[in-house]
Amino acid sequence: MIPLEWIQAAQINIRQHLRITPLEFVPNLNAYFKWENLQVTGSFKARGALNKVFNLLDWERARGLVAASAGNHGQGLALAGKLAKANVTIFASQHAVPTKLEAIRQLGARVMLVNGGYPEAEQAGKQFAEEQEKTWVSPYNDGRVIAGQGTLALEILEQNPGLINACWLIPVGGGGLASGILSTLHQQKQRPRLVGIQSEASPFFYGLYHSKSQANIIELPSLADGLSGPVEEGSVTIPILQKGLDDLILVTESEIRRAIVYAWRVFRMRIEGSAAVSLAALQSGKIRHYPLALIISGGNIQPETHQELLDQNGNANNS
């Protein structure tokens, strides 16, 4: 686990640059929604990136910062680099969400597109950082990044201490967010039930959790692009989630689509697929513990994709 002192220090370090996002209770669902899609850069990822960069030594920042990202970590690191006056280069798949890439550029970072998916972008980014002697910033395999993500749990408990007795639904990709939340709550007198959620189209951490292997997993295209790709071998997040999660479950792409549409129709909240997995798990009937705390981790969905999902749902309802 990451030390609680690191997470508490992260909260102090980054809070002036972040928003306190709403925690909304929805009575008919017996669930609390943490709307982190309303965070600066549109996702929780700014928490970890800011804390990492603020903890670097001056010479590490001066070298320039490099990361691979499906988009949200890249935006967070670009913001951190802008605040710290450090050059940032983000490697991303050519298939990454265009609005995410444009937001990275708008924050002053350089985007390098790579043929293939996230694994190829990560490999290219690491090689570039090593060859150019720049500072690599992992989106999840880093204690300071995880500590920054853990501030989300501290914020939720400040908003409602009673949620220490709830069941928390947490999106899982590389496991940085879940590891931060686990590290925060593991060191409390009580702790909630913690369930990780992942798309069945990209079930790498599901394999690591249930069978301790991600070998032979075939990845399919997913709306939850921020949760896609294999987990870095030896990642610090692997033992944290294997020991700390109470369960890790999968949701389908159709369930993710339905959750995105529901969030807009009911709450007028635009959420991305990676964030919708928590709501999808609730709606799927796979969850048996209440009340729930849903982490809605981001809202950076391509507008055209969002509208297409709404239109498809409308046509289905009218047919």
* pLDDT above 70: percentage of residues in the chain: 98
Helix (H) or strand (E) holding 168: strand 167-171
Distance CA 76, CA 258 (A): 28
Residue range 186-206, pLDDT digits in tens: 877 788 999 999 999 999 999
Give the least confident one: 3-7, 156-160, 255-259, 313-317: 313-317
Burial of 110 (0-12, 13-18, 19+ CB in 10 A): middle
Segment 236-276, tens digit of pLDDT? 999 999 999 999 999 999 999 999 999 999 999 999 999 99
AA letter at 309: L
Residue 251 near residue 281, CB atoms below 8 Å = yes
Say if strands 23-26 and 88-93 run parallel, antiparallel, or are unpaired: unpaired
Per-residue pLDDT tens digits for 69-124: 999 999 999 999 999 999 999 999 999 999 999 999 999 999 999 999 899 999 99
* Structure confidence at residue 13 (pLDDT): 95
Give DSSP secondary structure letters for 12-50: HHHGGGS----EEEEGGGTEEEEEGGGSGGGBTHHHHHH
What pLDDT score does 186 carry? 86
Answer yes or no: are the C-beta atoms of 281 and 195 closer than 8 Å: yes
| CA 133, chain centre distance (Å) | 27
Q: Which CATH class is domain 46-136?
A: alpha beta
Q: Is 8 exposed, middle or buried (0-12, 13-18, 19+ CB in 10 A)?
A: middle
Residue matched to tokens 């969030």: 263
Task: State the residue for tokens 């969002």.
Answer: 306
Name the fold adopted by 4-44+142-318.
Answer: Rossmann fold (3.40.50)
pTM for this one? 0.94
Tell me what the mean pLDDT of segment 162-180 comes to: 97
Buried b or exposed e, range 20-38, using 16+ CB within 10 angstroms: ebebeeeeebebbbbbbbb
| pLDDT for position 210 | 97
Rounded to 5°, the CA angle 126-128-134 comes to 85
pLDDT for the residue 318: 45
Domain ranges of the chain: 4-44+142-318, 46-136
Are 4-44+142-318 and 46-136 the same fold in CATH?
A: yes
